[in-house]
Structure 1
Amino acid sequence: MDYATLKARQRSERDQHPESLAMRIHRALSWLQRAELADDADGRFIFLWIAFNAAYATDIDPQYRLNEQDAFKAFLGKLCELDSGKQLDQLVWQHYPQAIRVLLDNPFVFQSYWDHQRGQITAAQWKERFEAGKHNAAKALSSNNTAAVLGIVFNRLYTLRNQLMHGGATWNSSVNRDQMRDCVKVLGDLVPVTISIMLDSPNTLWGDAVYPVVAVG
């Protein structure tokens, strides 16, 4: 699936969509299109992350708001429940199980590694957490728990997202090409599937989209 295919479907169905879903899909598709136009991996990753963010972010009262990682994990779990066509299962178990394993073995997209570099935890602590994370991922993989696998994978993607968004990496840096390549591959496949599942589930309560369009005058 790509932008053109999904956009054509969205145009034919959007009149039947609730306003909040229509806005989410419209925004996510716009950033997916921009990601497809990017000629560099860093830009493609950033635009793909914004597309995913546009799909899952919800405008709720701050006292009930989850932190971002918990929010996208809950969203991924919801997608897996709604995925009657098993699109996410096919991606995780058929298209790139090896890419996921390589990503999970990479310490540079593991936040505790960087916590150690800043002196916040010991080397033994980050290594213990790293091995525990890989163990949990292996357990999820062996039990075909797609939601759990995706939650762990997105923790890694989120670390790379933070590095880029907060200026913690150089554009087109030679030191992070491996993780950038793997993360772009995973996110590039997951974003279109996310949009497809949302289109399949227009009557699901997705919540209010953040920053709604406001009529002025």
Structure 2
Amino acid sequence: MSTLPDFAALKTKQRALREGFHENLSLRVHRALSWLDRAEKCANDDDARFIFLWIAFNAVYSEECGETMPNAARGLFESYFGKVVRLDTERRIYDAIWARFPGPIRMLLENKYVYQPFWSHHNQLPGFGDWEERFAAAKRKLSQALVRQDTSVVLSTLFDRLYVLRNQLVHGGATWNSGINRAQVRDGAAILAFLIPLFVDLMMDNPGTTWGKAHYPVVD
């Protein structure tokens, strides 16, 4: 089982390799590492740790795609996950999903409270009366992906759920340190704490890959 790279190890690697990075990769890694460092200082605060880790994730995956594009985040998720899974020749992401966190991941994916159509129906938005059928279909699709060991589909589905959790925290839809959603916040933070350093490590190992223009580049 592979060892999880921490901030210190990743920062040392970045300093050794950054001269060979394209400016887009260099900026993404630099920003992501700064937030990973901050997240590691929140060992006893799962809410803060989750938020800082999500910012690190934003730094590595997000691209400027225009304000009018619908579902842009989902499309970028799928593109990014397809890319990192192809580059993961040692199957470290696979190891994270099937060896380290199978229980927490399954519990999160089967939790209706991090499934957006459930909340859309609860908030009486039109078109979501069939959320239970959609949820069942999503679970069937996930089960098929698990049988096929399709890591990209599992990651996309997992981060759909984590995105709902992110929205609950960032948009004031949860109470800090609340006991109501404690399990999903704790598990979500633990999953991100394993996956985001792996993503950063894989990106540094593949500087020739096109990672896209980062949001808000440094401007003189």
For 2:39, the equivalent position in structure 1 comes to: 35
Given the alignment, which residue of 46, 69, 72 partners 2:77?
A: 72
Given residue 15 of structure 2, which amino acid in structure 1 is its aligned partner? Answer: R
Change (3 A) 1:30 1:107: same
For 2:177, the equivalent position in structure 1 comes to: 172
TM-score by length of 1: 0.94
Map 1:132-211; keep pairs closer than 5 Å: 132-211=137-216
Do 2:78 and 2:156's aligned partners in 1 also have CA atoms closer than 8 Å? yes
- Aligned residues between the structures: 215
For 2:100, the equivalent position in structure 1 comes to: 95
Do 2:120 and 2:128's aligned partners in 1 also have CA atoms closer than 8 Å? no
Identity rate, percent: 45
- The Cα shift of 1:57 comes to 1.1
CA distance in 1, matches of 2:135, 2:72: 22
Do 1:41 and 1:180's aligned partners in 2 also have CA atoms closer than 8 Å? yes
Do 1:7 and 1:29's aligned partners in 2 also have CA atoms closer than 8 Å? yes
- The Cα shift of 1:59 comes to 2.6
Given the alignment, which residue of 112, 118, 128 partners 2:123?
A: 118
Do 1:77 and 1:147's aligned partners in 2 also have CA atoms closer than 8 Å? yes
CA distance in 2, matches of 1:47, 1:144: 29
CA distance in 1, matches of 2:177, 2:22: 40
- The Cα shift of 1:64 comes to 7.2
Map 1:3-82; keep pairs closer than 5 Å: 3-38=7-42, 39-60=44-65, 67-82=72-87
CA distance in 2, matches of 1:133, 1:2: 33
Tell me, yes or no, if structure 1 residue 2 matches structure 2 residue 9.
no
Change (3 A) 1:81 1:66: farther
What is the CA RMSD across the aligned residues, in angstroms?
1.7
Change (3 A) 1:185 1:115: same
TM-score by length of 2: 0.93
Do 1:60 and 1:208's aligned partners in 2 also have CA atoms closer than 8 Å? no
For 2:136, the equivalent position in structure 1 comes to: 131
Q: Which moved more, 1:124-133 or 1:149-158?
A: 124-133
Change (3 A) 1:65 1:29: farther
| CA deviation map 1:74-115 (0-9, x unaligned) | 111111011122111111111111221111111111111111
Consecutive unaligned residues in structure 2, runs of 5 or more: none
| CA deviation map 1:111-157 (0-9, x unaligned) | 11111110125886111111111111111011100000011000000
SS in 2 for 1:119: coil
Given residue 176 of structure 1, which amino acid in structure 2 is its aligned partner? Answer: N
- The Cα shift of 1:194 comes to 0.4
Q: Which moved more, 1:48-57 or 1:96-105?
A: 96-105
